[in-house]
Amino acid sequence: MSNSYYITTPIYYVNDRPHIGHGYCTVAADVLTRYRRLLGRESFFLTGTDEHGSKVEKAAESSGVSPKELVDRNSDLFKESWRALLVENDYFVRTTDERHEKAVQKLISRLHEATTPDGQPVIYPGDYRGLYCLGCEKFLTEKDLTSEGLCPDHLTKPELLSEKNYFFRLTSYLDRVRELIESDRLKILPRERKNEVLGLFKQGLEDFSISREKVRWGIPIPFDPSQKAYVWVDALPNYISAVGFGDDPSAFSKWWRNSHVTHLIGKDILKFHTIFWPAMLLAIGEKVPDLIFIHGYFTVSGQKMSKSLGNVISNHDLVERFGPDAARYLLLNMFPFGTDGDIRISDFYKKYNSDLANDFGNLVSRALKLLESNFAGKIPPASELRGDETALREFIGGAIAKCRAEIDAINPNGAAESFMSVCRELNRYFDSQKPWALAKEKELTRLGTVLRTTLEGIRTVSVLAHPYMPTKCAEIRKTLGLTPQPASISEAAEPFVLHEGFEAKLSTAVFPRLETPPDRDIAAHTAAAPACSDGLIDIAEFGKVQLRVAEILAAEPVPKADKLLKLQIAIGSDRRQIVAGIAQHYKPDQLVGRKIIVVANLKPAKLRGIESNGMLLAAKGGDKLALLTVDFDLPSGATIS
């Protein structure tokens, strides 16, 4: 196999807003790709959006737009998130692209023509009956459901569906897939996940249906266009359609057949990727992926992120708070890549301040300050090397080797730990040499050596940390007179690269310390309720206020009013426009699809000449504002009592 490397993220459902759970995997793939390139390996990085299925169709219908308009708009939100997070994917696949649709049809035709090793048709017609969760886009078994018979992820009742489908003869490929997994030809990491997958074989797996009769928004089955491809049969082939399975044999051969193929996925989509997908590939005689890495899940303050709980942290939110470089670092370093982790916003601040502001940023500032005051900012020679410097270089050599090994093991945390360990070691070295005392005693030769050694160490960090924090590392490198992008990881190991006499000045701190905001303070915003003289109101007074659940369908800024947003909302079947003073707290794209609480019986009012028919409720604490919402997904129009 060639030395090239092909990495993918799952394609994200467009009916969800991009959040840090999606950002997690996408930034990991970006960081790994950048490291691979630094290591001199050719790489291709794919991400994209999953855009078919009845859920999209329904969402479009309730927003009064066509499915195509909805998917175009929502797919762009993912692209914007990735731009904000400095993600540089090589291709963005959309399942509604004609290129992808044709590739899926080609794959299904190939499956249809194929026979299993024991001579049976791979695809056959059959009847399917099952409990289908629209949210998951999959059939659930009785044992998947909660004790109330609900989908455990969406807490909704699955629908009983019965229809004619075409089936894929999975059972004919199970032995081969299991062998591939057992032998690590198809490697599954972390190890516990491999065991989990092998356990699935023991529980028993059945043929699965590849088509749907009831779905309209999907790819027609080429040999029976009355049926649409089942969402997973539509989605999984994105990994090959994007590299030319349908239309570019040489790209396909390069990136799929002759590269090391890694799929990064979350645990919820394990079975589809590790069993269904390899089996489909085997059935058309194609190579299976080399590695499937299952990363952990983010929960926020102990709960799954969900729109209805209002605890979803968007990628934009993280970028606004910490800047794109730190957001990338923080996303991947709150817990190990292969395990789940619970976070609070305040944890991000703690990590930012301890790792980036203190250990990294402060080191840069301290070294440059002493350089400025003692050498007019000019990089001095290191003419008095002692054991301390040699020991430091040895430590750095070890850290570089560790960084390489961690990337091979798909462990972005380990790679970060390697450059953070260099920062900590440099701080120890710097403090132990007491350069401020050397300055006071005018021991400038030794001081020059200490500063030069520290700056060369910072340069090493600017190479090793570059894939994580490309713009900040580029800034540091430019300050030190280097190219913004290191040519190769081998630069990290060079002891002396900086140009003597180069004037190194940094105008602002690389990672300024940030105040950790107090946890959200929720105070009710009671403007609608008329108060009595003693501040108490009668229940009858309160009863006059009609509070209803509304869904935000669209949101846009109000020109020349930096606090206002114009929202289109649905209260049941009633469509309304309201104007709300929340523009400094929410971006329009964070709002669409959210369920909020509105006062539905307010007299219409005009704000900046724009009619507002109702008022939303929000809680204010200090300078923060949070929308009131329902902690369970109720339909819009639901009343509040």
Active site amino acids = 19, 22, 133, 136, 151, 154, 304, 307
Give whole-number Cα distances, 469 to 2, 28, 484, 609, in Å. 29, 12, 12, 45
Q: Which residue is nearest to ligand MSP (CB)?
A: 266
Q: Which stretch binds ligand MSP (CB under 6 A): 68-76, 265-273, 550-558, 560-568?
A: 265-273
Q: Does residue 614 contact residue 597 with C-beta atoms inside 8 Å?
A: no
Tokens of 85: 């997070």
Among 170, 233, 265, 552, binds ligand MSP (CB under 6 A): 265
Q: Is 152 in the site for ligand MSP (CB under 6 A)?
A: no
Q: Which stretch binds ligand MSP (CB under 6 A): 118-126, 264-272, 546-554, 627-635?
A: 264-272
Q: Is 569 in the site for ligand MSP (CB under 6 A)?
A: no
Q: Is 303 in the site for ligand MSP (CB under 6 A)?
A: no
How many other C-beta atoms are found inside a 10 Å radius of the C-beta of residue 185?
A: 11
Q: Which is nearer to ligand MSP, 139 or 298 (CB)?
A: 298
Q: Which of residues 32-51 bind ligand MSP (CB under 6 A)?
A: 50
Q: Is 12 in the site for ligand MSP (CB under 6 A)?
A: yes
C-beta of 531: minimal distance to ligand MSP in Å? Answer: 41
Q: Is 234 in the site for ligand MSP (CB under 6 A)?
A: no
Q: Which is nearer to ligand MSP, 19 or 548 (CB)?
A: 19
Q: Is 21 in the site for ligand MSP (CB under 6 A)?
A: yes
Q: Does residue 380 contact residue 443 with C-beta atoms inside 8 Å?
A: no
C-beta of 10: minimal distance to ligand MSP in Å? Answer: 4
C-beta of 636: minimal distance to ligand MSP in Å? Answer: 22
Residue that the structure tokens 């079975």 belong to: 271
- Which string of b and e fits 77-107 if b means at least 16 CB within 10 Å? bbbebbebbbbebeebbbbbbebbbbbbbbb
Q: Is 266 in the site for ligand MSP (CB under 6 A)?
A: yes
In the shown chain, the binding pattern of residues 120 to 139 toward ligand MSP, with x for contact by CB under 6 A and - for none, equals --------------------
What letter represents residue 485's amino acid? Q
In the shown chain, the binding pattern of residues 49 to 68 toward ligand MSP, with x for contact by CB under 6 A and - for none, equals -x------------------
Among 104, 236, 580, 616, binds ligand MSP (CB under 6 A): 236
C-beta of 21: minimal distance to ligand MSP in Å? Answer: 2
Q: Does residue 37 contact residue 278 with C-beta atoms inside 8 Å?
A: no
Residue ranges of alpha helices (H) inside 165-254 are: 174-182, 191-203, 231-235, 238-241, 249-252
C-beta of 12: minimal distance to ligand MSP in Å? Answer: 4
Residue that the structure tokens 């500063």 belong to: 451
Give whole-number Cα distances, 529 to 88, 545, 557, 581, 615, in Å. 50, 7, 27, 18, 12
Among 7, 188, 210, 269, binds ligand MSP (CB under 6 A): 269
C-beta of 89: minimal distance to ligand MSP in Å? Answer: 15
Q: Is the peptide bond before 486 cis (omega within 30 degrees of 0)?
A: no
Tokens of 209: 């249906």
Among 92, 297, 335, 542, binds ligand MSP (CB under 6 A): 297
Q: Is 208 in the site for ligand MSP (CB under 6 A)?
A: no
The candidate with the shortest Cα–Cα distance to 233, out of 103, 361, 45, 424, is: 103
The strand pairing partners of 552, in sequence order, are 569
Number of residues lying near ligand MSP (CB under 6 A) = 20
What letter represents residue 147's amino acid? S
C-beta of 338: minimal distance to ligand MSP in Å? Answer: 12
The candidate with the shortest Cα–Cα distance to 473, out of 324, 371, 331, is: 324
Q: Which is nearer to ligand MSP, 297 or 395 (CB)?
A: 297
Q: Which stretch binds ligand MSP (CB under 6 A): 9-17, 84-92, 210-218, 410-418?
A: 9-17
Residue that the structure tokens 């032995």 belong to: 175
Q: Which stretch binds ligand MSP (CB under 6 A): 6-14, 319-327, 384-392, 567-575?
A: 6-14
Q: Is 16 in the site for ligand MSP (CB under 6 A)?
A: yes
Q: Is 305 in the site for ligand MSP (CB under 6 A)?
A: yes
Q: Is 218 in the site for ligand MSP (CB under 6 A)?
A: no
The strand pairing partners of 625, in sequence order, are 620
Among 13, 166, 208, 337, binds ligand MSP (CB under 6 A): 13
The candidate with the shortest Cα–Cα distance to 239, out of 88, 48, 56, 76, is: 48
Q: Which stretch binds ligand MSP (CB under 6 A): 13-21, 517-525, 557-565, 604-612?
A: 13-21
Residue ranges of alpha helices (H) inside 337-493 are: 345-351, 363-375, 387-408, 412-433, 435-440, 444-464, 470-479, 490-493
Q: Which stretch binds ligand MSP (CB under 6 A): 244-252, 260-268, 473-481, 623-631?
A: 260-268
Q: Which is nearer to ligand MSP, 20 or 382 (CB)?
A: 20
Q: Which is nearer to ligand MSP, 28 or 482 (CB)?
A: 28
Q: Which is nearer to ligand MSP, 13 or 360 (CB)?
A: 13
C-beta of 242: minimal distance to ligand MSP in Å? Answer: 11
Q: Which is nearer to ligand MSP, 52 or 576 (CB)?
A: 52
Give whole-number Cα distances, 27 to 34, 85, 236, 325, 611, in Å. 10, 8, 20, 11, 42
Give whole-number Cα distances, 572 to 156, 500, 548, 595, in Å. 18, 70, 9, 11
DSSP 151-190: -TTT--PPEEEEEEEEEE-GGGTHHHHHHHHHTTSSEEES
C-beta of 152: minimal distance to ligand MSP in Å? Answer: 14
How many other C-beta atoms are found inside a 10 Å radius of the C-beta of residue 310?
A: 16
Local structure of 477: helix, strand or coil? helix
Q: Which is nearer to ligand MSP, 135 or 621 (CB)?
A: 135
Among 5, 6, 24, 132, binds ligand MSP (CB under 6 A): 24
Q: Which is nearer to ligand MSP, 337 or 352 (CB)?
A: 337
**Three-state helix/strand/coil letters over 83-131:** HHCCCCCCEEEECCCHHHHHHHHHHHHHHHHCECCCCCECEEEEEEEEE
C-beta of 568: minimal distance to ligand MSP in Å? Answer: 25
Residue that the structure tokens 């459901």 belong to: 145
Read off the DSSP letter of residue 549: E
Q: Residues in the site for ligand MSP, rule: CB under 6 A?
A: 10-13, 16, 21-22, 24-25, 50, 235-236, 238, 265-266, 268-269, 297-298, 305
